[in-house]
């Protein structure tokens, strides 16, 4: 059974600053709250500033940590540079970068995938994380180092016709994880969390019967509650993973090995 508080007794991020994209909902929100509970001040970004404001208020009220918000579309490189400058202007440092923002729009069939849809999916899931990792990773490498965490998907290795652009982008993201680990080591560690199905707001669009049949083939036999991302994120963010870099960590209930 899942724990109610997956951040209990997990590594400390006291004195650290974490920047989380897509931090206003779903897995991003869980990661923001967990890192604040672990002692980090947090920079929260997404396209929906009002949602970021709600999470920032929750951080400050429940943890006492500082929470900074900045609206950003991670598919737009000019906005990414502004985000990085604003975050460093607020905190003076970033110790943890979490490239969590993602999107996987529905489409009726592969022929119907438009160039606009394809470019948006690649922009948010691959192009943006590349630019953020480059800008933040370079500053980390010049300073005290840090940890970059890319939130990927099992679709990178087990794509279906329903998510091919998304799966291709996430496969690229896992590739970047290894490349950036080489580029910015030894002071910067870069790792990826390859997620399976989580019950976030996106899951509301799932066909429940089809999902249940699919989950039955997994070794753990279910989807994940959002807080089940926390242990992996805190591990990779903290010194507990001090000898871990270039790793793709699957948190998928066994989806990748399902029959």
Q: Tokens in use for 123?
A: 């922009």
Residue tagged active-site, from 88, 107, 166, 184 = 166
In 3D, which of 214, 237, 223, 100 has the Cα closest to residue 160?
214
Closest CA to 163 of 110, 221, 208: 110
Angle at 119 between CA 196 and CA 54, to 5 degrees: 60
How many whole angstroms separate alpha carbon 121 and alpha carbon 222?
A: 27
What is the DSSP secondary structure assignment for residue 124, as one 8-state letter?
A: I
Residue 166 appears among annotated catalytic residues: yes
Q: How far apart are CA 147 and CA 19, in angstroms?
A: 11
Enzyme catalytic residues: 166
């Amino acid at each position: 059974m899942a724990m109610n508080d997956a951040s209990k007794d997990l590594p400390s991020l006291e004195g650290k600053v974490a920047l989380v994209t897509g931090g206003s909902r779903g897995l991003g929100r869980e990661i923001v709250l967990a890192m604040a509970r672990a002692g980090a001040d947090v920079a929260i970004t997404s396209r929906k500033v009002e949602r970021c404001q709600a999470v920032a208020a929750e951080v400050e009220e429940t943890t006492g940590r500082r929470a900074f918000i900045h609206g950003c579309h991670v598919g737009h490189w000019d906005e990414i540079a502004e985000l990085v400058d604003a975050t460093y202007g607020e905190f003076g440092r970033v110790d943890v970068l979490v490239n969590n923002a993602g999107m996987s729009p529905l489409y009726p069939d592969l022929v119907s995938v438009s160039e606009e849809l394809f470019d948006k999916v690649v922009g948010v899931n691959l192009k943006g994380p590349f630019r953020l990792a480059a800008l933040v990773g370079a500053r980390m490498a010049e300073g005290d180092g840090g940890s970059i965490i890319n939130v990927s998907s099992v679709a990178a290795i087990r794509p279906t016709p329903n998510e091919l652009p998304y799966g291709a982008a996430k496969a690229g993201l896992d590739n970047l994880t290894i490349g950036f680990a080489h580029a910015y080591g030894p002071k910067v560690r870069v790792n990826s969390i390859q997620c399976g199905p989580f019950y976030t707001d996106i899951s509301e669009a799932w066909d429940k019967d089809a999902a249940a049949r699919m989950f039955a083939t997994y070794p753990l036999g279910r989807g994940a509650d959002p807080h089940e991302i926390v242990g992996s994120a805190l591990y990779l963010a903290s010194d507990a993973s001090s000898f871990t870099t270039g790793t793709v960590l699957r948190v998928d209930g066994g989806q990748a090995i399902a029959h």
